[in-house]
Structure 1
Amino acid sequence: MGHPDPLVIDPTGRDIHGEAARVRDRGPVTPVELPDGVGAWAVSDPDLLRRLLTDPRVSKDPRRHWTRWINGEIAPEWPLFTWVAVQNMFTAYGGEHKRLRALVSKAFTARRTAALRPRIEEITAGLLDRVERAGRDGQVVDLREGYCYPLPIRVISELFGLPEDQGAELRSVVDSIFHTSATPEEVTDTYARFYAALAKLVATKRELPGDDLTSALIAARDDEDGTRLSEQELLDTLMLMVSAGHETTVNLIDNAIHALLTHPDQLALVRDGRASWEDVIEETLRVEAPIAGLPLRYAVEDLAMEEFGGPEGVVISKGEAILAAYAAAGRHPGKYGVDADRFDVTRVDKEHLAFGYGVHFCLGAPLGRLEAQIALLALFDRFPDLRLAVPEEELRPVDSFISNGHRSVPAHLR
């Protein structure tokens, strides 16, 4: 890396925003150390990050452009192995990415997303009934476990046509993928179980296709050459869409609820009509990015940061890894001012990078926003006196430096 003192990233994510501030303090781009001593460059300046995310000299394909991968230095037991080893549009580069994204886009259409609204509203109402029963007589309810978590997994399961009896296993392996301090044994076990679950789903849909995303992905063809997704690409595309589409939405809903309960003045602005639920969602995405840092990208050639508007004399060398530091970028005082850490639904500039940027912008962003809007409106409408059941400082983060959410959100309904 050519830097004597990289910042060691805490794999447990105990202090995401404190660590993000330390990353920012070291400059717009700084060397960091990921689990097992793997080096990368963390980019925290939002403008610099945008330029890098849209430059063709920055790749997401480790097989072609990450020196440590090419040299066989990244073992399957590495906690982030799943994030870089999959073969789907998340890790594709150039024409290969364009081909895969086009195939997935044919299946994951805006029409399919919009058509989910009535079903999301129905699932939400059912979950709130359960929450209400659990919270009777002043009982504490865990809103993450009982509401934020089951809503996206139910939506994803129905979107992909996942049989109900396979849902619990899928949830378990998705949790494990975001567990960035997992042991080597846990990492390899997660990988095997996830593939087994997805292979079972694909086999079911080949035998009995339906009006679901899995069947649509199996059937999708490239208009130019008639090719389909390979078996590996199909499984890895499902892995990407299930894990990314679920965890990010859970954290978005969780963080929005937490922000409103700890900022009653902001909730009052929404209830008075002076701000919208869209304002809540976008400000939550800015100030509490559901993915704090996204691994990884790679320099296709030597990249002088000065060329991108970054610091003079800093070069990310060909083959080195890049970490998109979304949590740090979302609170950057250079863009959002001295109050960048403050949750403010009336903030004029809520622009953020929480769903990525450029050709890798998240295809599922409209669905995540739709789920959050329905979930938040319904929750605060049903329980106008909702409040946290513990002091804010007692809440604990999930065990991950990638996933930014809470282990639980205990609350009183009335």
Structure 2
Amino acid sequence: MPEHPAPLVLDPAALEADAEHELLRARGPATRIDILGVEAWSVSDPALLKELLTSPDVSKDARRHWPGFEEALRTWPLALWVAATNMFTAYGGDHRRLRRIVAPAFSARRIAALKPAVDGIVEDLLDALESTPPGEVADVRERFACPLPITVIGRLLGVPADRAGEFRVLVSDVFATTLSPEEAAANTARLYGMLDALIAAKRAAPGEDMASVLITLGEGGADGERLTEEELRDTLLLMINAGYETTGNLLDQAITALLGDPDQLAHLREGRASWPDVVEETLRHSPPVKHLPLRFAVTDIPLPGGRTIAAGEAILASYAAANRHPGWHDDPHAFDVTHITKEHLAFGHGIHFCLGAALARMEGEAALSAFFTRFPDAELAPTEGDMGPIPSLISNGHRSLPVRLRPRTP
């Protein structure tokens, strides 16, 4: 009789995520789970996860390698995560081609060129926060952590400034795991409508932005690389999705952790740690994405203990559970910017490692340094807002981040 015959049903709202991740780890390196009605293998052991993420026996192409694909399209609220046609869901040669096309958008030169613009956006947002009267509370997630990355990715792609807010709302619902299939499908339709409008506008008046560059490639680049219309639209979708919610959560979690532990802030202020240390420890301790759906076994994959992931079965990369695995880090549940080893899987591993990692790190370091310089006396105000978790198995942030930026005037 198998040790764990019944799949563990994951809470769609992830209200007790840490406890759920502990349970996943206790069930072994990989265990059967149910994610919104789809059965899969959750992998929470970092060594096994790295092995699977680099194995040619694991695919992200649901159309080719998941027998449950057609059913998921009709009934699964997260269908978009497996149905989009871009490098996130590609396998083999298709993935290499699409990654080659997108990679120049995130070159070291382009990221460095974005730094002055990022610094300017940060200062503008902090200027707006400065208007908060002493003693009053501001929602720093709503007014700083989230507006920064959507503005940055909007400029990179050439999204009109007056449309960024609409994209932000729709992208947030891509990460929601409490929507019905009908609600999720309606959100996808609205999001695709906005992407189609963006593509039409760039075709009519191309610029220097990445959306215009990708449209040109879709029509046949000088090196022969091409994007289909579907690939173009879904690549823009991927860049907006990956560039917004994840960095917003990174800033949210870092500010929460530092304001919640004065000793950690003291490490920064007294030179025992750096802002890159803060970013990496946040990515390890509270990664922006808890679970990332889905991958699929191309062939039977033996597991420790004699079990097997059968060909065609789904695999869930449980990054948050893996990052705090006791076999990887000493005192894994403690947020400590002085941790000597801050290795993590927040950006994935292997051929699907996040292309935007350098941009996210740059935004994180710039925003956190500027925020704590501008508001050295900031303090959490948990009774002034809802600091509960975002109801999502994917997104790892707070509903709000209430902060008293400056003390009350005596």
TM-score bin (small chain) = over 0.9
Counterpart for residue 143 of structure 2: 146
Residues 2-21 of structure 1: per-residue CA shift (max 9 Å, x gap): 96311100111112211111
Counterpart for residue 363 of structure 1: 355
Structure 1 Cα separation of the partners of residues 239 and 388 of structure 2: 27
Query: 1:140 offset after TM fit, Å?
Result: 0.8
Change (3 A) 1:379 1:225: closer
Counterpart for residue 308 of structure 1: none
Amino acid at match of 1:231: E
Q: Is residue 301–residue 310 contact of structure 2 (8 Å, CA) maintained in 1?
A: yes
Counterpart for residue 24 of structure 1: 25
Query: 1:314 offset after TM fit, Å?
Result: 1.2
Counterpart for residue 266 of structure 1: 264
Q: Is residue 177–residue 190 contact of structure 1 (8 Å, CA) maintained in 2?
A: yes
Structure 2 Cα separation of the partners of residues 168 and 223 of structure 1: 32
Change (3 A) 1:385 1:239: same
Structure 1 Cα separation of the partners of residues 105 and 321 of structure 2: 33
Counterpart for residue 106 of structure 2: 108
Structure 1 Cα separation of the partners of residues 103 and 130 of structure 2: 38
Change (3 A) 1:204 1:393: closer
2:207 is equivalent to residue 206 of structure 1: no
**Number of residue pairs matched by the alignment:** 404
2:320 is equivalent to residue 327 of structure 1: yes
Counterpart for residue 380 of structure 2: 388
Structure 2 Cα separation of the partners of residues 394 and 164 of structure 1: 28
Query: 1:312 offset after TM fit, Å?
Result: 2.1
Query: 1:137 offset after TM fit, Å?
Result: 3.2
Identical-pair percentage: 54
Q: Is residue 16–residue 404 contact of structure 1 (8 Å, CA) maintained in 2?
A: no
Structure 1 Cα separation of the partners of residues 310 and 55 of structure 2: 15
2:313 is equivalent to residue 312 of structure 1: no
Structure 2 Cα separation of the partners of residues 364 and 80 of structure 1: 22
Residues 218-241 of structure 1: per-residue CA shift (max 9 Å, x gap): 123788971311110000001111
Change (3 A) 1:274 1:48: same
Q: Is residue 106–residue 359 contact of structure 2 (8 Å, CA) maintained in 1?
A: no
Query: 1:55 offset after TM fit, Å?
Result: 0.3
Tell me which of 121, 128, 131 is aligned to 1:130: 128
Q: Is residue 218–residue 228 contact of structure 1 (8 Å, CA) maintained in 2?
A: no
Q: Is residue 77–residue 177 contact of structure 2 (8 Å, CA) maintained in 1?
A: yes
Three-state SS of the structure 1 residue aligned to 2:248 is: helix
Q: Is residue 107–residue 217 contact of structure 1 (8 Å, CA) maintained in 2?
A: no
Structure 2 Cα separation of the partners of residues 3 and 318 of structure 1: 20
Residues 55-105 of structure 1: per-residue CA shift (max 9 Å, x gap): 000000000101211xx3213442111111100000000011001100111
Structure 2 Cα separation of the partners of residues 255 and 107 of structure 1: 27
Counterpart for residue 237 of structure 1: 235
Three-state SS of the structure 2 residue aligned to 1:297 is: strand
CA RMSD of aligned residues (A): 1.8
Amino acid at match of 2:261: H
Q: Is residue 161–residue 213 contact of structure 1 (8 Å, CA) maintained in 2?
A: yes
Amino acid at match of 2:234: D
Q: Please give the residue correspondences for 1:30-69 in structure 2 after superposition, counting only pairs within 5 Å.
A: 30-35=31-36, 37-69=37-69
Amino acid at match of 2:25: R
Change (3 A) 1:65 1:28: same
Three-state SS of the structure 1 residue aligned to 2:87 is: coil
Counterpart for residue 286 of structure 1: 284
Residues 168-225 of structure 1: per-residue CA shift (max 9 Å, x gap): 2211210110111102221111111111101111111111111111011112378897
Q: Please give the residue correspondences for 1:72-83 in structure 2 after superposition, counting only pairs within 5 Å.
A: 72-83=70-81
Structure 1 Cα separation of the partners of residues 222 and 306 of structure 2: 44
Q: Give the TM-score of the pair, scaled to structure 2.
A: 0.95
Q: Is residue 107–residue 220 contact of structure 1 (8 Å, CA) maintained in 2?
A: no
Counterpart for residue 158 of structure 1: 155
Structure 2 Cα separation of the partners of residues 57 and 391 of structure 1: 49
2:345 is equivalent to residue 344 of structure 1: no
Structure 2 Cα separation of the partners of residues 303 and 392 of structure 1: 49
Three-state SS of the structure 1 residue aligned to 2:245 is: helix
Amino acid at match of 1:175: S
Q: Is residue 76–residue 188 contact of structure 1 (8 Å, CA) maintained in 2?
A: no
Residues 269-310 of structure 1: per-residue CA shift (max 9 Å, x gap): 0111110000000000000010000000000000002xxxxx
Structure 1 Cα separation of the partners of residues 86 and 387 of structure 2: 35
Three-state SS of the structure 2 residue aligned to 1:67 is: coil
Structure 1 Cα separation of the partners of residues 226 and 112 of structure 2: 25
Gaps of 5+ in 2: none
Three-state SS of the structure 2 residue aligned to 1:258 is: helix
Structure 2 Cα separation of the partners of residues 55 and 341 of structure 1: 29
Structure 2 Cα separation of the partners of residues 323 and 392 of structure 1: 36
Structure 1 Cα separation of the partners of residues 105 and 333 of structure 2: 38
Query: 1:399 offset after TM fit, Å?
Result: 1.3
Change (3 A) 1:393 1:349: farther
Change (3 A) 1:217 1:18: same
Gaps of 5+ in 1: 306-310
Structure 2 Cα separation of the partners of residues 114 and 26 of structure 1: 44
Which stretch has the larger CA shift, 352-361 or 387-396? 387-396
Structure 2 Cα separation of the partners of residues 393 and 167 of structure 1: 25
Structure 1 Cα separation of the partners of residues 213 and 49 of structure 2: 34
Amino acid at match of 2:124: G
